[in-house]
Structure 1
């Protein structure tokens, strides 16, 4: 029996729903995780935005009455429940399996899907106000024919006309109704770079059923489920500055996704040393992939519309990285209790170096296990890494109250093929 985990979080400060990943309406979908027919252990964790706050929450899927998603409940501080694995699509197919979440206060939603103890990932859901109608797919290469690259669309309105342009030049159009879910599954190629447009806003998720970095030669290399919700291209060229956090004692690659490269996008990492500025000719099907690296990395452009995804090696996960202007001043989160097979859990804080001493975890300063200056041109930022043992609600704030910082959560088990996960805990959008 598989289930699908949703962690619903509330942000500490009163930030308008239209500005951040904390919202009141979400449309969720569940791409395939690894092996069809294998047991998945997953839960739904819900955390209030404010301590002791009582929240009314509705989760519904009108066309899947037997799959236990139709619930309305009230809870205070934290609530855990489960979804059936029947919502997960397995191949290239279409069904009415979309799930709608509505709350009477702003919430953040994190969705987890784990197979046993060796394949899993978590994504941070984007609320309705953050959706769009034009996307570039971020996925990853298939491990072999049994574990395809994939993306999944959830329609939020009736009469949603979807147009897909694939990297191989083929095109496909379909009409979706509200709660319809369409999954594209490719055992023969990477679906990254596919351009999807529509007349209505929709939710998009991308990844790989069991992805492995192509230059992964570690002692425990092997595939792992990768998934994240993809941000839309908003068509507004702006100054974008992305700091990619250090993943403690791990390597990764990053990909830059852009629908239209009209100006130079520069990047720098520990392996490359010097900055490299990319032209449109450096992108392959709307995507550029870095070499394997570790430490911190930076991607920046004065006028562009792009996003960056990190892919961890060995026990893999994928994670969309918010830009500096998307950082928040406080976060509240819960590590999914589903990850109970001995993983070590971490948070990475990207903070102005002069302010790093002010980071507070549950109201108290804590001792980091690593502190790394960010590569140029963002030497005024530091990535501070903490190990987290509290699987209950954690509050991360700054003693000054108004300092913005980025926050990422990830976990893996040392020297083991156990499942890994990673996600951005919260972010602003609409910049």
Structure 2
């Protein structure tokens, strides 16, 4: 299938539902999307009989990797993970601790689907390890969270973030007008401790490999070690507000970006109301540009609900607006300022939620000062005791960064280059074998590197 999309436009491609299948299997059911310009892609699954829906953002192939730990949720139908192959002859193994649950070789366009069990099982904490980069998603067919009856469930799904992209700092926005949500933490090391803060209190905990927490306020989580955070909506009858479960893997604060072009999905059922929450430094919020309008003008017709974040990110605020489905363009007028964009919707018995974009190669070394001021930098670690927030440093190109590999498609590591660096690919011969090297040297070094290419 080939089509053109004009600037500011979009295209909905409907997939035959027969492609879906229950159980554990390997089959050729993958879909590949390529473009000659940058695009954003979201996936939405709906089922009209029970008004179920969820949407998730699709991660670029450049950001996928070989090592994942799964976050999901149990349901009356069990929970499922799905591995998609992007190269041929990819060895995939699924572990529970040190026990091998399943292994297979998959090719381009193949998917490996693993179902935990028939009922009430959860694949959370299971590891997926491959010898080549793969895409991994997880979810449940009909999950119910904080419900008084199992009848208030919904379909949930999210694409997993690779282990190497886990962050140390997260801000979680409430999903207004609902009064509750659930956060699930995954840690790689059992000795890792996480500080959880809301407006009311702050507490330090040492979670197990998978722990979940019920919250009603904006939430900040920090740790000395990288960890993963997944946010879930709760069932309709938990607070008698419209909406049901959804799941989304939350990006770290260091993974926010400056410019978002995204689509709010079509609301198929249940009188769906759409929202967007912006997580932005307070002192720079007035320079946001939302669909071509300043924040002041945009707020005149789309009144924002404003929430403050707890320390150590009390220099941030959360602005929540009602939005329409379709194309949106949000950015900050200063290229140095980054912010988060969380898109979600509630219907009578359904919800969805996902982040509009993020840079999974953000600086996970981000540190906060011990004073009431937070100072953040994506290129160098800084701290501050002044009454201001430092701007994020301008970034250069995002480049592949691998050495001595046999094919350009096998590189699964990318690097944030500086403004003075450029992307390069070097091809050379070593003991009769063709090898490749990628990276981002300084521009004045690039010429000499290219001169060493042996074809």
What TM bracket, shorter-length normalisation? 0.7 to 0.9
Q: Which residue of 1 aligns with 2:124?
A: 192
**Preserved CA contact (<8 Å) 1:260 1:305:** no
Does residue 242 (structure 1) correspond to residue 170 (structure 2)? The answer is: yes
Change (3 A) 1:221 1:404: farther
Q: Distance in 1 between matches of 2:309 and 2:191?
A: 27
**Preserved CA contact (<8 Å) 1:253 1:293:** yes
Does residue 256 (structure 1) correspond to residue 190 (structure 2)? The answer is: no
Change (3 A) 1:353 1:249: same
Q: SS at 2:2's partner residue?
A: strand
Q: Which residue of 2 aligns with 1:274?
A: 201
> Residue deviations 1:47-66, cap 9 Å, x none?
xxxxxxxxxxxxxxxxxxxx
Provide the TM-score with structure 2 as the length reference: 0.71
Match of 1:85 among 10, 14, 17: 17
Match of 1:425 among 352, 356, 362: 356
**Preserved CA contact (<8 Å) 1:347 1:385:** yes
Does residue 141 (structure 1) correspond to residue 74 (structure 2)? The answer is: yes
Q: Distance in 1 between matches of 2:231 and 2:192?
A: 22
Provide the TM-score with structure 1 as the length reference: 0.75
Q: CA deviation at 1:401?
A: 4.5
Q: Distance in 2 between matches of 1:80 and 1:176?
A: 28
Does residue 125 (structure 1) correspond to residue 58 (structure 2)? The answer is: yes
> Residue deviations 1:48-107, cap 9 Å, x none?
xxxxxxxxxxxxxxxxxxxxxxx1222313233322112222222221101111111122
Question: When the two structures are aligned, how many residues end up with a matched partner?
Answer: 342
**Preserved CA contact (<8 Å) 1:155 1:177:** yes
> Residue deviations 1:320-363, cap 9 Å, x none?
11111111112112211243542110000000111222333211
Change (3 A) 1:192 1:167: farther
Q: CA deviation at 1:425?
A: 0.3
Q: Which residue of 2 aligns with 1:287?
A: 210
How much is the aligned-residue C-alpha RMSD, in angstroms?
2.1
Higher relative contact order (CA 8 A, sep 6+): 1
Q: CA deviation at 1:178?
A: 1.9
Q: Which residue of 2 aligns with 1:223?
A: 153
Q: CA deviation at 1:399?
A: 3.7
Q: Equivalences for 1:42-121 in 2 at 5 Å?
A: 71-77=1-7, 78=9, 79-116=11-48, 118-121=51-54
Match of 2:232 among 311, 317, 325: 311
Q: Distance in 2 between matches of 1:196 and 1:132?
A: 10
Does residue 300 (structure 1) correspond to residue 222 (structure 2)? The answer is: yes
Q: Distance in 1 between matches of 2:273 and 2:267?
A: 13
Change (3 A) 1:369 1:125: same
Match of 1:212 among 144, 147, 150: 144
Q: Distance in 1 between matches of 2:97 and 2:190?
A: 16
Q: Distance in 2 between matches of 1:167 and 1:422?
A: 30
Does residue 347 (structure 1) correspond to residue 276 (structure 2)? The answer is: yes
Q: Distance in 1 between matches of 2:114 and 2:35?
A: 30
Match of 1:156 among 76, 86, 89: 86
Q: Which residue of 2 aligns with 1:46?
A: none
Q: Distance in 1 between matches of 2:322 and 2:172?
A: 18
**Preserved CA contact (<8 Å) 1:124 1:423:** yes
Does residue 371 (structure 1) correspond to residue 306 (structure 2)? The answer is: yes
Q: Distance in 2 between matches of 1:275 and 1:160?
A: 44
Q: CA deviation at 1:182?
A: 1.3
Which of these two proteins has the greater Rg computed from alpha carbons? 2
**Structure 2 portions without partners, runs of 5+:** 236-243, 363-455
**Structure 1 portions without partners, runs of 5+:** 1-70
Q: CA deviation at 1:261?
A: 4.2
Q: SS at 1:240's partner residue?
A: strand
**Preserved CA contact (<8 Å) 1:363 1:397:** no
**Preserved CA contact (<8 Å) 1:247 1:294:** no
Q: Distance in 1 between matches of 2:245 and 2:97?
A: 24
Q: Distance in 2 between matches of 1:199 and 1:72?
A: 32
**Preserved CA contact (<8 Å) 2:66 2:162:** yes
Change (3 A) 1:249 1:181: same
**Preserved CA contact (<8 Å) 2:55 2:354:** yes
Q: Distance in 2 between matches of 1:334 and 1:369?
A: 19
Stretches (4+) displaced over 6 A: none
- Give the strand-richer structure, 1 or 2: 1
